[in-house]
Structure 1
Amino acid sequence: MSTQITTDRLVLRPVEASDAARIADLVNDPRVYRMVARIPANQTVAQTLAWIAGHTAGREENTKHPYAIVENGELVGVTSAHRDSTWLPFEIGYWLSPDRWGNGLMTEATEALVGWLKQRGERGFVSGYLDDNPASGRVLEKLAFMKADRIKVFCLGRGEMVGHVNMARID
């Protein structure tokens, strides 16, 4: 059900098993896994393949839409939308290779994903960011997400509880 999405600088395409090694390599940078609650340190290719496989069925059920962010033919990150049931809003998540930070790519990619979901009739979205990752919060603010509350979450990559700001957007 997922399709390719294009922007001025990027191609967003469904994540595939052939992406597993590249994704595992990128998320094993502590600058990535320490800023995303659900990515463990030392994620293996096998774990990455399991994550990809788990999302494949969700595409057809309209509950999981992970997209590879491709710039000039190279996978540089992932932006995704997932939910446990079709009656819930999509949770937006993302990460980007640190060598591509500061170029507006994540805002561009995630804006395109949210736009694609809106075209499909989706109107509610949630997301959030870790307290010590304000750049991620700025991405969400640019996309009209508003702060909802602050909680503690367990960050797999750090192995500890960390502050997290929940955000939401209703169109």
Structure 2
Amino acid sequence: MFARTERLTLRPGWSEDAPALLAAIGHEVVARNLSRVPWPYTLADAEAFLTNWQGDARPTFLIFAHDGGRCALIGGIGIGPLRDVPHMLGYWLTPSAWGRGYATEAGRAALDIAATLGIGRVEAGHYIDNPASGAVLRRLGFAPTGTRSTIHSRGRGMTVETIDYAIDLSARRLAPRLAA
């Protein structure tokens, strides 16, 4: 699956993306806000991640920005299982891409694809010390569930408290197109 927005291309990761992936995600400030990403992050981690991606049919993408005529890997976004939640949204951006609206733009595209695939409910969360991620979730239409949970962060090497969110995508599903 691929998606194209005004400023972004979302596509699966390929093995040749490993060096760019390392450069984009290999920041402690990124890894510390993710549950599955180790710190330090190495080229071997990037290669393993991309190798495991092959054949994954879930809406999971690398995010590429089109700035100044060049296309650069700036992040990742996906909807997939985490613990007992079947459809959990996760995303990250490299620090130079923060504050530019890319997470919201990529999130809208990923949620549209999820709705088209028939996914009705998506959950998400953010660490309590990362309110910027909560702002992105609210811009995407997620609502706080009123609950908090904990998850182990490999980047921090500890359990972290999260604020939980959810969104119902049933109204977002695209109507089937009839052939003329």
TM-score by length of 1: 0.88
Q: How do 1:60-139 and structure 2 match up within 5 A?
A: 64-72=58-66, 73-83=71-81, 89-139=86-136
Task: Tell me the SS of whatever aligns to 2:11.
Answer: strand
Q: Which moved more, 1:150-159 or 1:95-104?
A: 150-159
Q: Distance in 1 between matches of 2:92 and 2:3?
A: 17
Structure 1 residue 162 displacement after superposition? 1.5
Structure 1 residue 53 displacement after superposition? 2.3
Task: Tell me the SS of whatever aligns to 1:169.
Answer: strand
Q: Which residue is 1:45 aligned to?
A: 43
Structure 1 residue 13 displacement after superposition? 1.1
Q: Given that residues 36 and 153 in structure 2 are in contact (C-alpha distance below 8 angstroms), is that contact kept between their aligned partners in structure 1? A: yes
Structure 1 residue 118 displacement after superposition? 0.9
Q: Which residue is 2:150 aligned to?
A: 152
Structure 1 residue 156 displacement after superposition? 0.8
Percent identical: 30
Structure 1 residue 136 displacement after superposition? 0.5
Structure 1 residue 116 displacement after superposition? 1.3
Q: CA RMSD in A?
A: 1.6
Q: Given that residues 152 and 159 in structure 2 are in contact (C-alpha distance below 8 angstroms), is that contact kept between their aligned partners in structure 1? A: yes
TM-score by length of 2: 0.83
Q: Given that residues 155 and 162 in structure 1 are in contact (C-alpha distance below 8 angstroms), is that contact kept between their aligned partners in structure 2? A: yes
Task: Tell me the SS of whatever aligns to 1:83.
Answer: strand
Q: Distance in 1 between matches of 2:28 and 2:86?
A: 30
Q: Which moved more, 1:35-44 or 1:126-135?
A: 35-44
Task: Tell me the SS of whatever aligns to 2:74.
Answer: strand
Q: Which residue is 2:175 aligned to?
A: none
Point out the structure with max Rg over C-alpha: 2
